[in-house]
Each structure stands twice: as C-alpha cells, then as structure tokens.
C-alpha cells in the first residue's frame, strides 16, 4: 500500500490510486484518539457519561461512539459526499490511546444526470485487530 498523506492524527492509505473512485476501491486510514479529542467532543456534543470523563483503572477514557463514527465520514469529506444515510454498529469500546484502522469499500459509484451516487461499507478495527465498528453509508457527490 502507498501512503498518500498524513494529516494530524490521520494516516491515509489506498490499495489503488485513482483519479476517481470506482466500485471495489478500498480506502484505508487510521487515527489514534487522544484525551483532548474526547474532551473536545464532550464539550461539543454534551455527551458527559462518566465513562467519557472518568479514567478507568488503566487511565483511559472511553471514546464516544459518535466520535468513533467520524472515521468513515472522512472519506465523504475528501470526496465531497453529501450523505443521505449512515448506519453504524458499535461492536466494542474504543479507548484513548487506541489506534483505529478504518477500511472503506466503495460498493456503488454511479454517474447520474448532474450528480454521482455513492454507497460504501466500512469496517474499523483497533491496533489489536479487534473489530470495533462496522456499517455503511450512501449519498451523492456534489
């Protein structure tokens, strides 16, 4: 795989470099969540569950599910996708210090009149190769 860019806490890789997306493309990237990420998301979202603000016996905070769910939305942002549906299944908790690897697979990419429809599935795993979240999204590229 080839690294195409590193931005902040994100590392991006793709299996094939294309000018445009196509069905079957897999976009892979990773992010390590920090205490600062949780504090910022807590402030924005108001999700102040004790597990998000009180460290466990290992000194970690549990990452909010919707903060974890921002991972696959990065692909949408990179390709100007206006989301229509997003489905998430949270499989296990994510903690501060965890590195989450997200693989997004393009399932549908259809040019229509003045837009392109897109659907993708995703699977996110932690640094121990344990699945933490999966789901799918669809939308249009503006």
Tell me what pLDDT residue 140 has: 93
| Residue ranges for the chain with pLDDT beneath 70 | 1-19
Domain boundaries, the chain: 2-141
Q: How far apart are CA 9 and CA 138, in angstroms?
A: 25
How many CA atoms lie within 13 Å of 61's alpha carbon, on the beta-carbon side? 23
Q: Which residues contact 131 (CB under 8 A, 6 or more apart)?
A: 91, 92, 123, 124, 125
CATH class of 2-141: alpha beta
Tell me what pLDDT residue 9 has: 53
Tell me what pLDDT residue 15 has: 44
Tell me what pLDDT residue 5 has: 39
Is 112 buried (19+), middle (13-18) or exposed (0-12) by CB count in 10 A? Answer: exposed
């Amino acid at each position: 795989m080839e690294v195409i860019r590193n931005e902040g806490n994100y590392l991006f890789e793709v299996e094939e470099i294309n000018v445009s997306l196509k069905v079957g493309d897999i976009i892979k990237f990773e992010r390590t969540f920090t205490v600062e990420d949780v504090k910022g998301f807590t402030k924005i979202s108001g999700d102040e569950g004790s597990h998000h603000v009180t460290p466990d016996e290992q000194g970690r905070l549990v990452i909010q599910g919707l903060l974890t769910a921002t991972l696959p939305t990065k692909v949408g942002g990179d390709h100007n996708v206006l989301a229509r549906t997003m489905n998430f299944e949270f499989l296990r908790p994510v903690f501060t210090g965890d590195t989450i690897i997200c693989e997004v697979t393009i399932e549908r990419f259809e040019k229509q009149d003045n837009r392109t429809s897109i659907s993708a599935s995703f699977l996110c795993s932690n640094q121990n190769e344990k699945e933490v979240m999966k789901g799918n999204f669809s939308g249009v590229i503006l």
